[in-house]
Structure 1
Amino acid sequence: MRRHDDEEVHEHDRGLSYDLPVLARRRMIRLLAGASAGAGLAALVGCTAENTPPSAAGDTSSTAAGTSSSAGDCATVPEETAGPYPGDGSNGVNVLKESGVVRSDITGSFGDSAGGTAEGVPLTFTLTVVDAASGCGTPRKGAAVYVWHCDPEGGYSLYTEGVTDENYLRGVQETDEKGRVTFTSVFPGCYTGRWPHIHFEVYGSLRDATSATAITSTSQLALPKDVCDTVYATEGYESSVDNLGRLSLESDSVFRDGHDRQLAAVKGSVEEGYTATLTIAV
């Protein structure tokens, strides 16, 4: 089982000091939004995907509260750090220019990598990209989303010892006419110091994404605690139990200043797998 020492924990997302400029901007945005109520400025919000079908009887489900998608409740998704392991060329390796990175199933490695597959509780997640300038009512067709996250042991392909030859749990897709991309993956683990999350970058086009240029937005999706507790009680997630027990969304270095716009709605079960949805305005 891989472990992360204190230095590695700090480097996973470069810590609070690295994020202070981003966090300060987000606080200022909220202050401006509050000051402008009734003054004609757009309200600032992100939102979870709508029209998600109800979960089956007996399924574990979690829905983010206060995240409805209405024209009066819309704003760009909060900017966050990409962390030290994006694989987009900004910190060493660039997986975006490799043939095979455009895919929906990201559980296995592709290309000349070792060919390993990440094992874990199945997770299918859908991100819907909408235009904030139009009040979140217009889907961003033809945009592109690059996603990446850790494996159940908390390791990142391309970077973590033991999986540096792998590139699983990374992939790019172009949004459809409804602004959606859907990825098949496994539920990420919880490593020391960070709440369970999925990184994503939004690009204006697939061409921009696969040339690793002109990022429109960089942010993170948070996973709800009740679902995490259920998943982490299963085999393969043993280290995540204690790690999650020492955290909360309110204490996490990224989500502590507000997570309601990044908290995914999740439905499903360990046996059948989970689905997560989040709408992101750019």
Structure 2
Amino acid sequence: MDANTPATPVCLLSPEQIAGPYFRNPKLIRRNISEGVDGIPLILRLTIVDAMTCEPVSNALVDIWHCNARGAYSGWSKINPDLEVDTGDIGAIPRTDDDTYLRGGQFTDQSGNVRFTTIYPGFYAGRALHIHVAVRITSGNNYLEERHVAWVGQLYFPEVASRSVLGNRQYSGRASVPLSNEQDELYTTMGGDVSTLNIHTLGRDSNEDGFFGQLTIGIDTFAVSNQIKPEDFDKYTV
């Protein structure tokens, strides 16, 4: 090959991870999912590409959900985040409330991009800091035209950024300590290293201005994930 010939792009299938016990389907199409909860701002941009062709996947519905600065998930806000839960199955832990903070979905644009305004997540006992993601293939910008869940994963954070965040008042004073990425079994066994966000500070002088995180996720648009099944969406809609 001539040295001046552009290389053929290499696209990789991103590793799936479990959906976890705190999945629900509130059917919230929104960019800003923070609902005013306290925490360091995070702007998140995800790019969804077809791992077989390297082409962007448009009109895919990307849902994200994560805990707040104190480690609590909306819908399960009364669960003590400083005590480890003994299950990772969807719906195995009864909901405690109808809150919807830090949950929402966006349809990818023609470039395969979605963008969310949220906060840097905290942690709960037994896990490293992470954000859950599910990608649904649709036939249009409408929940009624869903086809299938193609990919379910988790996104992680660089340790240096997380340490600087966890020192802030919104995140500190906990009865438990977060696991590092390398201490987290899901990170080490399910490809967390390639699911780690690229993080940059939004402000020049302080991380309190927030962070910008981005990642490209390669999916098989014809795959049907076994991490979230159709009945899971039906059962946990509200």
* TM tier, smaller: 0.7 to 0.9
Cα offset, 1:242, TM superposition:
5.2
Amino acid across the alignment from 1:141: S
Matched, 1:167 2:97: no
Match of 2:211 in 1: 274
Q: Which secondary structure state, in structure 2, belongs to the residue aligned with residue 256 of structure 1?
A: helix
Matched, 1:255 2:192: no
Gaps of 5+ in 1: 1-69, 89-94, 109-116
Match of 2:150 in 1: 216
Q: Distance in 2 between matches of 1:209 and 1:157?
A: 24
Q: Which secondary structure state, in structure 2, belongs to the residue aligned with residue 250 of structure 1?
A: helix
C-alpha contact (below 8 Å) 2:61/2:136 kept by paired residues: yes
Match of 2:17 in 1: 80
Give the 3 Å change call, closer, same or farther, for CA 209–226 of structure 1 in structure 2: farther
Root-mean-square deviation (Å): 2.3
C-alpha contact (below 8 Å) 2:19/2:152 kept by paired residues: yes
C-alpha contact (below 8 Å) 2:48/2:218 kept by paired residues: yes
Give the number of equivalent residue pairs.
191
Match of 2:82 in 1: none
Match of 1:51 in 2: none
Amino acid across the alignment from 2:72: G
Q: Distance in 2 between matches of 1:87 and 1:144?
A: 15
Q: Distance in 2 between matches of 1:241 and 1:207?
A: 46
User: In the alignment, which of 29, 33, 47 is matched to residue 128 of structure 1?
Assistant: 47
Match of 2:88 in 1: none
Amino acid across the alignment from 1:220: Q
Cα offsets for 1:188-212 (capped at 9, x unmatched): 0011110100000001127698357
Q: Distance in 2 between matches of 1:208 and 1:196?
A: 31
Match of 2:83 in 1: none
Match of 1:182 in 2: 115
C-alpha contact (below 8 Å) 2:133/2:153 kept by paired residues: yes
User: In the alignment, which of 24, 30, 34 is matched to residue 103 of structure 1?
Assistant: 30
Q: Which secondary structure state, in structure 2, belongs to the residue aligned with residue 229 of structure 1?
A: helix
Matched, 1:238 2:238: no
Give the 3 Å change call, closer, same or farther, for CA 256–154 of structure 1 in structure 2: same
Cα offset, 1:164, TM superposition:
1.9
Query: TM-score with structure 1 length normalisation?
Result: 0.63
C-alpha contact (below 8 Å) 2:41/2:211 kept by paired residues: yes
Q: Distance in 1 between matches of 2:74 and 2:60?
A: 25
Q: Distance in 2 between matches of 1:264 and 1:249?
A: 12
Match of 1:152 in 2: 69
**Matched ranges for 1:201-212 at <5 A:** 201-205=134-138, 210=143
Cα offsets for 1:99-144 (capped at 9, x unmatched): xx10000011xxxxxxxx311110010110001011x2x1111111
Query: Does 1 or 2 have the higher relative contact order (CA < 8 Å, sep 6+)?
Result: 2
Give the 3 Å change call, closer, same or farther, for CA 239–273 of structure 1 in structure 2: same
Amino acid across the alignment from 1:104: R
Q: Which secondary structure state, in structure 2, belongs to the residue aligned with residue 146 of structure 1?
A: strand
User: In the alignment, which of 228, 235, 248 is matched to residue 162 of structure 2?
Assistant: 228
Gaps of 5+ in 2: 1-7, 80-95, 220-238
Q: Distance in 2 between matches of 1:255 and 1:213?
A: 29
Cα offset, 1:260, TM superposition:
2.1
Give the 3 Å change call, closer, same or farther, for CA 241–161 of structure 1 in structure 2: closer
Q: Distance in 1 between matches of 2:134 and 2:163?
A: 27
Give the 3 Å change call, closer, same or farther, for CA 161–171 of structure 1 in structure 2: same
Cα offset, 1:159, TM superposition:
1.8
Q: Distance in 1 between matches of 2:142 and 2:207?
A: 33
Match of 2:9 in 1: 71
Cα offset, 1:161, TM superposition:
1.1
Cα offset, 1:177, TM superposition:
1.2
Give identity over the alignment, percent.
34
